[in-house]
Structure 1
Amino acid sequence: MTGSSRKGRVFLDESNGGHGGKFGKLKKDEFDGYNSDNHPRKNSPFAMDDAPHLDPQMAADNAPYDATLSPLSKSPWSSHLNLNEDASVSNENEALVGSLVREEGHIYSLAATKDLLYTGSDSKNIRVWKNQKEFAGFKSNSGLVKAIVIAGEKILTGHQDGRIRVWRVSGRNERQHKRVATLPTLRNYIKCSMKPSNYVEVRRHRNALWIKHYDAISCLSITEDHSLIYSASWDKTFKVWRTANFKCLESVTAHDDAVNSLVVGPERFVFTGSADGTVKIWRREEHGKRTKHSFSQTLLKQECAVTALAINVEGNLLYAGSSDGLVNFWVRGGSWEHKGVLRGHKLAVLCLVTAGGLLFSGSADMAICVWRRTLSNDHTCVNILSGHSGPVKCLAAERDPDAMCNERKWILYSGSLDKSVKVWKVAENAAAQTNVQPPCLSLDQFPRVSSLRKMGSRRY
Structure 2
Amino acid sequence: MLGGGGSFRGGQDFFGRNNSNSISRSNKLIKSPFDNSNIPPFPSSTATATADQPIFRPSMDTDPDPEHSFFEPASTSPFTKSPWSSHFNSDALPSPADNTSFLPNILMGSLVREEGHIYSLAASRDLLYTGSDSKNIRVWKNHKEFSGFKSNSGLVKSIVIGGGKIFTGHQDGKVRVWKISSRDPSVHKRVGTLPTLGDYIKCSMRPSNYVEGRRRRNLWIKHFDAISSLSLSEDQAFLYSASWDKTFKVWRVSDSKCLESIEAHEDAVNTLVSSIDGMVYTGSADGSVKVWRRELQGKGTKHFFSQTLVKQECAVTALAVNDDATFVYCGSSDGVVNFWEREKSLSHGGVLRGHKLAILCLATAGHLLLSGSADMGICVWQRIASDHFCLSVLTGHTGPVKCLAVEKDNEVSEGERRWIVYSGSLDKSVKMWRVSEQPPSTFQRSPSFIPECSPTAGLLVNAPSFVIREQ
Structure 2-normalised TM-score? 0.77
Gapped regions of structure 1 (runs ≥ 5): 10-47, 60-65, 440-460
Provide Cα deviations, 1:8-64, integer angstroms capped at 9, x if missing partner. 99xxxxxxxxxxxxxxxxxxxxxxxxxxxxxxxxxxxxxx9xx997343699xxxxx
1:404 corresponds to 2:409? no
What is aligned with 1:352?
A: 362
SS at match of 2:348: strand
After TM superposition, the structure 1 = structure 2 runs for residues 376-395 of structure 1, keeping only pairs within 5 Å, are: 377-395=386-404
Match of 1:142 among 138, 150, 153: 153
After TM superposition, the structure 1 = structure 2 runs for residues 271-290 of structure 1, keeping only pairs within 5 Å, are: 271-290=281-300
Match of 1:102 among 106, 110, 113: 113
Work out the CA distance in 2 between the residues paired with 1:229 and 1:124: 21
After TM superposition, the structure 1 = structure 2 runs for residues 176-191 of structure 1, keeping only pairs within 5 Å, are: 176-191=187-202
Contact 2:376 2:397 (8 Å CA) reproduced: yes
Residue 91 of structure 1, CA deviation: 5.5
1:435 corresponds to 2:444? no
Match of 2:38 among 37, 52, 56: 56
- Alpha-carbon RMSD: 2.8
Match of 2:244 among 225, 234, 237: 234
- Which amino acid counterpart does residue 460 of structure 2 have in structure 1? T
Q: Aligned in 2, Cα 1:179/1:148: closer, same or farther, shift over 3 Å?
A: same
Work out the CA distance in 2 between the residues paired with 1:127 and 1:261: 23
Work out the CA distance in 1 between the residues paired with 2:462 and 2:264: 38
1:72 corresponds to 2:71? yes
What is aligned with 2:423?
A: 414
Q: Aligned in 2, Cα 1:106/1:91: closer, same or farther, shift over 3 Å?
A: farther
SS at match of 2:389: strand
Contact 2:7 2:229 (8 Å CA) reproduced: no
- Which amino acid counterpart does residue 415 of structure 2 have in structure 1? N
Q: Which range is displaced more, 290-299 or 349-358?
A: 290-299
Q: Aligned in 2, Cα 1:52/1:311: closer, same or farther, shift over 3 Å?
A: closer
Residue 7 of structure 1, CA deviation: 7.5
SS at match of 1:138: strand
Relative contact order: is structure 1 or structure 2 higher (C-alpha 8 Å, sep ≥ 6)? 2
Residue 67 of structure 1, CA deviation: 8.4
Match of 2:208 among 187, 197, 213: 197
Residue 81 of structure 1, CA deviation: 4.6
Q: Aligned in 2, Cα 1:3/1:318: closer, same or farther, shift over 3 Å?
A: closer
1:132 corresponds to 2:143? yes
Contact 2:279 2:291 (8 Å CA) reproduced: yes
Q: Aligned in 2, Cα 1:223/1:95: closer, same or farther, shift over 3 Å?
A: same
Work out the CA distance in 1 between the residues paired with 2:295 and 2:226: 27
Work out the CA distance in 2 between the residues paired with 1:281 and 1:75: 51
SS at match of 2:161: strand
Provide Cα deviations, 1:137-185, integer angstroms capped at 9, x if missing partner. 1111113100000113101100001010111100000000111110000
Work out the CA distance in 2 between the residues paired with 1:384 and 1:162: 35
What is aligned with 1:116?
A: 127
Work out the CA distance in 2 between the residues paired with 1:288 and 1:243: 18
What is aligned with 2:256?
A: 246
| Identical-pair percentage | 61
Gapped regions of structure 2 (runs ≥ 5): 1-5, 11-19, 24-30, 42-56, 62-69, 95-100, 444-458, 466-471
| Deviating 4+ runs (over 4 angstroms) | 1-9, 73-77
Provide Cα deviations, 1:384-409, integer angstroms capped at 9, x if missing partner. 00000000000011110211342200
Work out the CA distance in 2 between the residues paired with 1:436 and 1:195: 66
Structure 1-normalised TM-score? 0.79
What is aligned with 1:153?
A: 164
SS at match of 1:188: helix
After TM superposition, the structure 1 = structure 2 runs for residues 4-19 of structure 1, keeping only pairs within 5 Å, are: none
Q: Aligned in 2, Cα 1:337/1:3: closer, same or farther, shift over 3 Å?
A: closer
- Which amino acid counterpart does residue 147 of structure 1 have in structure 2? S
Residue 312 of structure 1, CA deviation: 0.3
Contact 2:37 2:133 (8 Å CA) reproduced: no
Contact 1:281 1:296 (8 Å CA) reproduced: yes
After TM superposition, the structure 1 = structure 2 runs for residues 276-315 of structure 1, keeping only pairs within 5 Å, are: 276-315=286-325
Contact 2:270 2:284 (8 Å CA) reproduced: yes
Work out the CA distance in 1 between the residues paired with 2:424 and 2:35: 21
Contact 1:250 1:290 (8 Å CA) reproduced: no
- Which amino acid counterpart does residue 129 of structure 1 have in structure 2? W
SS at match of 1:333: helix
- Which amino acid counterpart does residue 359 of structure 1 have in structure 2? L
Work out the CA distance in 2 between the residues paired with 1:314 and 1:4: 30
1:260 corresponds to 2:270? yes
Q: Aligned in 2, Cα 1:289/1:184: closer, same or farther, shift over 3 Å?
A: farther
Provide Cα deviations, 1:338-392, integer angstroms capped at 9, x if missing partner. 01000000000000000001000000000000000112x1011110000000000
Work out the CA distance in 2 between the residues paired with 1:75 and 1:330: 51
What is aligned with 1:425?
A: 434
1:212 corresponds to 2:222? yes
**Number of residue pairs the alignment of both structures matches:** 386
Residue 427 of structure 1, CA deviation: 0.9
What is aligned with 1:17?
A: none
